[in-house]
A and B are shown apart, each in its own frame.
Chain A
């Protein structure tokens, strides 16, 4: 069974631009979560989607948004990029919203210049 895939793997953007990242979960998994990882803050939860509905949201500004499609694929969008948004963005999927185990993709490395 294929794992979680994320595209693109690497991205360089300029401050003020917007960016969209994509995540395809493991087949059959209906819950997708997004995380931001930085050296200083570690892994921080952004939001979780289940059956196309956002179920949980972390403490991030409204510039960070996401959505989930009927096939469980998910996208996250960051508008008006800031230098501090440079990070590894990780997507994780799990079977249901209450499942314990989640499986991570390789991440998208975003650099904002």
Chain B
């Protein structure tokens, strides 16, 4: 069974602080995605990374895919209360028709 570990599980910070959350596996990903989920809603896709070493930016969010494609990080600069939510990473280990396996998520709370 392929596992995807996310850390930390919970993060509570003040508005304006920076933070990084991590997603790790012992297996090589074919692709990896990050989602944000708000209470009572489905996850919303933020980014997909497929190339080792790839860095993508989405406003104040920076996503990095490890060179060996076994890990990824999400860095948020100057967090805002609107960033509050559950951040999920999800990986595909084989190309083609394989399914997404999700980590258990990092719950982020940004206080004003």
Give the nearest-CB partner of A103 in chain B. B45
**B102 to chain A: which residues have CB within 8 Å?**
35, 42-44
Q: Which of A52-110 contact B (CB under 8 A)?
A: 55-56, 58, 90, 92, 97-98, 100-107, 109
Q: CA–CA, A103 to B33, complex, Å? A: 11
Q: What 7 A-B pairs are tightest by C-beta distance, nearest first? A: A104-B42, A42-B104, A43-B102, A97-B97, A104-B43, A100-B48, A106-B42
Q: Which of B17-65 contact A (CB under 8 A)?
A: 31, 33, 35, 40-45, 48, 50
Given contacts A42-B103, A43-B88, A100-B92, contact A56 B97 (CB under 8 A): yes
Q: Using a Cβ–Cβ cut-off of 8 Å, how many residues does chain A contribute to the interface with B?
A: 26
Given contacts A4-B42, A106-B42, contact A100 B99 (CB under 8 A): no
Taking the complex as formed, is A22 at the interface, i.e. its CB lies under 8 A from any CB of chain B?
no
**B105 to chain A: which residues have CB within 8 Å?**
42
Interface size class of B (residues with CB under 8 A): 20 to 34
**B112 to chain A: which residues have CB within 8 Å?**
none
27 intermolecular pairs with C-beta atoms under 8 Å apart: A4-B42, A33-B99, A33-B100, A41-B104, A42-B104, A42-B105, A43-B90, A45-B99, A45-B100, A45-B101, A55-B97, A58-B99, A90-B42, A97-B97, A98-B95, A98-B96, A98-B97, A100-B48, A101-B33, A102-B45, A103-B45, A104-B42, A104-B43, A104-B44, A105-B42, A106-B41, A109-B40
- Contact digits for B58-93, partner A, Cβ 8 Å, 1 yes 0 no: 000000000000000000000000000000101010
Do the beta carbons of A107 and B42 come within 8 Å of each other?
yes
Do the beta carbons of B33 and A100 come within 8 Å of each other?
yes
Shortest Cβ gap from B28 to chain A (Å): 16
**B40 to chain A: which residues have CB within 8 Å?**
106-107, 109
